[in-house]
Amino acid sequence: MNGIDMFLVQYGLAAIFIVMFAKSIGVPIPIPADVIILATAVRAAQGKFVLWQAFLAILLALVLGGTIQFVLVRGPGRNLLYRFGRYIGLTAARLDAAAVKIKKGGIPGLSLAILVPGVRSAAIAASGLANFPLRTFVPGIVLGSALFLCVHFFLGFLGGAVLAVVSHALPSPTLIIVVLLLLVAVYALWVVAVRRQKAARRELEAGAPLEVWHEGICPVCLALYTANQRRRMPTTTFRLNPERVAYFEANGWRAYYERNWLKVLWLIVRLCQEQFHIPFPMSLLAAYYTTRASAAWVPVDHSLSKVLAYLTRFYGIARRYSGLKFDVERVAALELQYFDVHRRLVDTPDKSEFVQTLVDLHSAIFGLTPAQARESAELRARAADTVDRITGKKSTDVPGDWARLEEYLRQCYASIQRELAA
């Protein structure tokens, strides 16, 4: 008798309900859900559990736990999920991509998402992040969970009957070989799924294998997951946190003009991580490239090719980790143009050329239309004017202007995020 069987014998349906309820809320209990469900179904087939009671107990656990997770994410858990979700496989990119699908799919889309391993947890969390109506969420999770249970209870009944026949028909060594071959087949499906996932959407689905283990490792679950991976992959959803990006950029400018170089380095590294999701230590290299580009630009007789080379290297890293699909050379050239126009127009009242340069830059980086990028460009130009007023010794309220600078940047990145989500 294995550990799962011992667990079921000793504690019964009440313990199954508690474990499945906790897993559905989001507690990372290291037992795949389908192992518990299949074992329960087998015991129901053997007459040790009443079928409808076992089915209803697990269904209630899945629905109640998922609903609690949904309510928590809609409220106090939203920021915590975005900050720490990556540690349990729920990266910001996965959640945002799932939210887009959930909004379009309605009840049928949510039900199908809940049915597929590696998507279920992200779908429930994304429903909360997308402010899905509770009257729509509940039917979706009930239908999806019921389908999930039907598949596994059918497999449990079928598997229990087949195992009983096979165990009588085959000698023990042959039975062991058959079981080992089945395990090899399951492992092969796992490898195919994970390799497909890594090649197609490394950033978007960084935690999916963890979620598959958490939710299910039976051959049908892995087949569903693999089939889902083989579908046309959506474009990675890029997400900004306007408050954090604005904080690091504004304080980076301030530290630069205060000549606090260690603080400058730290803030630029953090800015690279927040703005383009560049992980450490690559964020340190990206910070080095952008700092060298700025330093190379300072002399009046600077080398344009040298500045452009550093900017190109920086945006090459940014493109790799952000999931954005911009043209690296074009964006680097527009950033260099931004340097030039900003310097030329620093004391000029008419900033229309400067704003247009920023429109082109934001459009190129984030894939926006010029009309969509206009508001963020104007706000970014105001932020630059504020910096120039402070550094040109024309500010009559330096602390207030630093605060206004950060607010302009926050509004700028909030505008970009809104247009990306539109």
Q: Which regions in the chain score pLDDT beneath 50?
A: 1-2, 163, 166-167, 170, 172, 175-176, 179-180, 193-194, 196-214, 216-217, 219-220, 222-226, 228-236
Task: Report the distance separating Cα 166 and Cα 179, nearest Å.
Answer: 11
- Cβ neighbours, 10 Å, residue 48: 14
- Report helix, strand or coil for 263: helix
Task: Report the distance separating Cα 249 and Cα 154, nearest Å.
Answer: 56
Query: What pLDDT is recorded for position 142?
Result: 92
For the residues of 61-108, what is the DSSP string, one character each? Answer: HHHHHHHHHHHHHHTTTHHHHHHHGGGGT--HHHHHHHHHHHHHHHHH
For residue 40, the surrounding DSSP H or E stretch is helix 33-45
pTM greater than 0.75 (yes/no): no
Task: Report the distance separating Cα 406 and Cα 243, nearest Å.
Answer: 9
Query: What pLDDT is recorded for position 246?
Result: 93
Query: What pLDDT is recorded for position 107?
Result: 81
Query: What pLDDT is recorded for position 234?
Result: 42
Spatial contact of 189 and 219, defined as CB atoms under 8 Å apart: yes
For residue 234, the 8-state DSSP code is P
For residue 237, the 8-state DSSP code is P
Query: What pLDDT is recorded for position 381?
Result: 93
Query: What pLDDT is recorded for position 221?
Result: 52
Query: What pLDDT is recorded for position 119?
Result: 65
For the chain, how long is the longest CA-to-CA vector? 92
- Report helix, strand or coil for 288: helix
Spatial contact of 209 and 194, defined as CB atoms under 8 Å apart: yes
> In the numeric block, which tokens belong to residue 102?
């959930």
Query: What pLDDT is recorded for position 310?
Result: 93
Nearest CA to 380 out of 393, 366, 396 is that of 366
29 φ, ψ (degrees, to nearest 5)? -75, 125
For residue 398, the surrounding DSSP H or E stretch is helix 398-421
Nearest CA to 340 out of 282, 297, 369, 396 is that of 297
Spatial contact of 191 and 257, defined as CB atoms under 8 Å apart: no
